[in-house]
Amino acid sequence: MSRLQEKPAAKWSRKDLLELREMSAEEILLILDTARSFREVTTRAVKKVPALRGKTVAILFSEPSTRTRISFELAAKRLSADIISVQTAQSSLVKGESLHDTARNIEAMRADILVVRHGASGVPHQLARVVSCSIVNGGDGSHEHPTQALLDLFTIREHIGHIEGLKVSIIGDIAHSRVARSNIAGMTKLGAKVTVCGPPTLIPRGIEQQGVDVTYDVHEAIEDADVIYVLRLQLERQDEGLFPSIREYAATFGINSAKMQRAKPTALVMHPGPINRGIELSPDVADGSHSVILEQVTNGIAVRMACLYLIAGVKAGE
């Protein structure tokens, strides 16, 4: 047990779950600890507890996403909550109504928790200022995807037992990745040493000031990393001139078994999905012995149950 993990768990006091950057290590650990007990629930024959009975969880996704939406829906269902799932247009401009109008409508539906996925950074923050129900950030623009990072941390902890002192390399498009931002915040808070790796055009300015190292050498990033976290490449970035071709990207930064030769035998390979097979990750590595990618998906439900449970104001142990 590391020093951080020995600390007494914090009490949950937040109305919203917006980003990991504003959260303390203790709060993050409380979620992870709570998730552990929910993971046990998901292995039972009857995978349901009554914790959120009578509560309404609205799931508002303005971006296409299957796995995160299903994961949240399943988490809410296993807590016995009622669920409204709303797909909305991409932005206020398309709808012709402001974000505050949307918020007022949700308010009128009397939801207790609103899970928001939006293509624009900051939307969960903006909504949290105007609605009284709780907001859970299901991923906003290039900002944060806190529940993804929490399930990643949970998965690492299940395998290695701790986060503190680990060397984690995050490889790919750091600039546009909300997964990278949340993971950097969560991992550094829990005492991991994070290195980001990608072409300079995909490394945002001033990222070092978030306490990470930067390398453009993927071999260096793989060597002696405990966790190799590979990001999904948004293929349309090539059209923005951020790198010359998918082919060159795959050759330079794609993780394949040849590059994995240098990795520690115990290293975990992780990916937030969906994978571009053969681009950022070769199939044999994605499905290979280092990979914990499907476990991440499974753990996602338990972690999201923990988030909803804590946010709903139900005290742990009740």
Q: Which of 24, 66, 98, 257 binds another protein (CB under 8 A)?
A: 98
> Which range binds another protein by CB under 8 A, 94-102, 147-155, 270-278, 291-299?
94-102
For the four alpha carbons of 205, 25, 151 and 114, in that order, the dihedral sign comes to negative
Q: Which is nearer to another protein, 18 or 81 (CB)?
A: 18
Helix axes 25-41, 178-189, angle to 10 degrees: 110
CB 24 within 8 A of CB 4: no
CB 111 within 8 A of CB 57: yes
Give yes or no for residue 296 binding another protein (CB under 8 A).
no
Q: Which of 112, 144, 152, 173 binds another protein (CB under 8 A)?
A: 144
Give yes or no for residue 239 binding another protein (CB under 8 A).
no
CB 245 within 8 A of CB 199: no
Give yes or no for residue 9 binding another protein (CB under 8 A).
no
Number of shown-chain residues binding another protein (CB under 8 A): 29
List b or e across 166-186, with b for residues whose CB sees 16 or more CB atoms inside 10 angstroms. Answer: bbbbbbbbbbbbbbbbbbbbb
Q: Which of 55, 157, 167, 181 binds another protein (CB under 8 A)?
A: 181
Give yes or no for residue 268 binding another protein (CB under 8 A).
no
Q: Residue by residue, what is the 3-state secondary structure of 277-316?
A: ECCCECHHHHCCCCECHHHHHHHHHHHHHHHHHHHCCCCC
Residue 315 CB-half CA count within 13 A? 4
Q: Which is nearer to another protein, 36 or 100 (CB)?
A: 100
Give yes or no for residue 121 binding another protein (CB under 8 A).
yes
Residues that bind another protein in the complex, under the rule CB under 8 A? 21, 91-93, 98-101, 118, 120-123, 125-126, 140-144, 175, 178, 181, 204-207, 209-210
